[in-house]
Structure 1
């Protein structure tokens, strides 16, 4: 047990002050995350771009996030957790100001890409910091609490951003940048560097060489990419299916809002229960539940029916998100921890690309019923695969990283 770890009278590890400072940063960052949900509206209404061009610029943010996950992992291991967090938050703020200030198309493209690169630098650093501070069992609770903070902040942000936008889109960019600056200050004042010291007599290992021979890691990466591709049907195929059933965009907005509401309400209760169970089994069962949730879409055509679907796959999402990062942390060697956790974020970014492309292609070619049944099958496949690699994951968790 590290110096920062303490136990409650009941024997459960108490989460230390640096973790709660990180939790506060996640909340502040998401509460102030006004720009990205309204980026397409800003580009079409303020910059007078076409919807297609606005969508392409939004995709540039996604392309930046792919780079960000890998770069953030490298910085976490080489530069340090604390410095990577500060650079990520301050860099995001500056990139947001740039995006809200430029008005020529090439500069908008560059600024959007930089926002993507900077905005996700903090993810591997924060995940590695949690793994440094806490043991395997406490990580489940910690990662779940971070996920809850993100969704609480997102709920507050989306409710307030619409009101703030009425005063001008420029205000959103400056407030977003201010939130990033506050988060950086909290890290600077309250979070110490937790990067383990490397023995100078030990040769530095190549990340690619180690990761490419880690069969368990490679299998987990494949499962994670498939799961992420499944999950992102919520923001690509689901609105198309609801529109095909004659439901309005406003109805989709209300239905998808159930996702954040369910997380905010339910997760504080589940976070107390999940650490009692094997993490790989929780992940597998939760992936199956996500598939079933989307599969419900094959049998519904009303707002209520889709709302039930969203609530079901949200319960699965809570389970997956709460334990998956802990599984990667268990696998990660200490000297490569940031880059292993960066790969976890990379799978999410890949899913944002594959999921919408594959889902909309199936939807357009075979129809929504085939898509939703296919989602249920994909969820079942992810579950089986996760359970099959579970014993290897459990063995690795027992070995000090």
Structure 2
């Protein structure tokens, strides 16, 4: 049911991929101004992730998720009323703080309701719902933006509202019944996990892991901002075509995620899985330097999507396995912060590099960083879970 709620919510998620295009086309912002505003989404996401983790440990994931969903809806409707750069930055900051508190709480809820031994598959199922919604959302967003950009914000608001209603109606009583059930700890990991009361900010190996997650995220999440701008300004695609390509990526994830995750769990260690996935993402961006033919654009998106499958669900699983039963929210919050930092850095860095040095330089640099990150991540995960990695 958590996945169904996520599907409803993410089907309405079409603002973020088109926010940069909206600001440059509709509001006549420059690329740098657009990047600056998008970075405020990242600042809000960092704050929201920390607050989400803190409030989840204090009040429980049910309250945090329901409040986040219901407060997000009216904020989406307010975005078109803030047309200046400063005003847009402020409303995006507030909206991001509220909406991103949802993520740590949602991750903790998955660890609570998932069956023992099925943690990665549970995260994958939830992500499959996210990507199914994301495959529908951008495609709809491309069509709606051709009519009116304001329709994007209205649809986002409706998605958050409907998701909130469905979530509250289904989980209002069930969250109490399931309290304390379905622990995520596996025998192989329990011996090397940190103490259950330890702060993640004092877990040095985990902090190194989070730093590498941040490097990966800075590169990968260009998918949400600089990549659509690249399609628009460099490849000269219209908004519906951009939406179809982004939707195609989500469709690939929906079709293949459970199969790829199941295969990876049976044949690879966590370290090898992330190594292969991050390398594939690096290759995906390097392909964009070769040519702008549609076949290569789709090949790049395919590799990026498969790499995403091999990386993101296992990253969340690693965080869950590293945490204790009483500090899951704090660990998930810190994990969310590492990804949210990318939403600050990526729009500013990506748009400035593209503007000053060109998109080819941006993609070459992205590929080089991802290859280095893949190798470092392999080493760090073997450091985090030596017995598990040796066992495989």
Give the TM-score band, short-chain normalised: 0.7 to 0.9
The equivalent of 2:43 in structure 1 is: 63
**Matches for 1:346-361 after TM superposition, within 5 Å:** 346-360=337-351
Please tell me whether residue 296 in structure 1 is matched to residue 287 in structure 2: yes
Residues 29/195 of structure 1: CA separation in 2 closer, same or farther (3 Å cut):
same
Q: Which runs of 5+ in 1 are unaligned?
A: 1-20, 198-204
- 2: CA distance, partners of 1:126 / 1:84: 9
* Aligned residues of 1:331 and 1:396 also touching (Cα < 8 A): no
Deviation at 1:325, TM superposition (A): 0.3
- 1: CA distance, partners of 2:161 / 2:140: 19
The equivalent of 1:248 in structure 2 is: 236
Deviation at 1:121, TM superposition (A): 1.4
**Matches for 1:200-219 after TM superposition, within 5 Å:** 210-219=199-208
* Aligned residues of 1:34 and 1:176 also touching (Cα < 8 A): yes
Residues 396/328 of structure 1: CA separation in 2 closer, same or farther (3 Å cut):
farther
- 2: CA distance, partners of 1:112 / 1:241: 22
**Matches for 1:205-244 after TM superposition, within 5 Å:** 210-235=199-224, 238=227
Find the residue that maps to 1:334 and give its secondary structure.
Answer: coil
1:320 to 311, 320, 328: 311
Please tell me whether residue 81 in structure 1 is matched to residue 61 in structure 2: yes
- Considering only CA atoms, is the larger Rg found in Structure 1 or Structure 2? 1
Q: Which runs of 5+ in 2 are unaligned?
A: 182-194
- 2: CA distance, partners of 1:381 / 1:169: 39
The equivalent of 2:254 in structure 1 is: 264
Which has the higher mean CA deviation after the structures are superposed, 294-303 or 64-73?
294-303
TM-score, normalised via structure 1 length: 0.78
Between the two proteins, the alignment pairs up a number of residues equal to 367
User: RMSD value over aligned CA atoms?
Assistant: 3.4
**Matches for 1:103-182 after TM superposition, within 5 Å:** 109-134=89-114, 137-164=117-144, 172-182=152-162
Find the residue that maps to 2:327 and give its secondary structure.
Answer: helix
Which has the higher mean CA deviation after the structures are superposed, 338-347 or 93-102?
93-102
**Matches for 1:94-109 after TM superposition, within 5 Å:** 94-100=74-80, 109=89
- 2: CA distance, partners of 1:329 / 1:214: 14
- 2: CA distance, partners of 1:39 / 1:161: 11
- 2: CA distance, partners of 1:240 / 1:168: 19
TM-score, normalised via structure 2 length: 0.80
Residues 43/212 of structure 1: CA separation in 2 closer, same or farther (3 Å cut):
closer
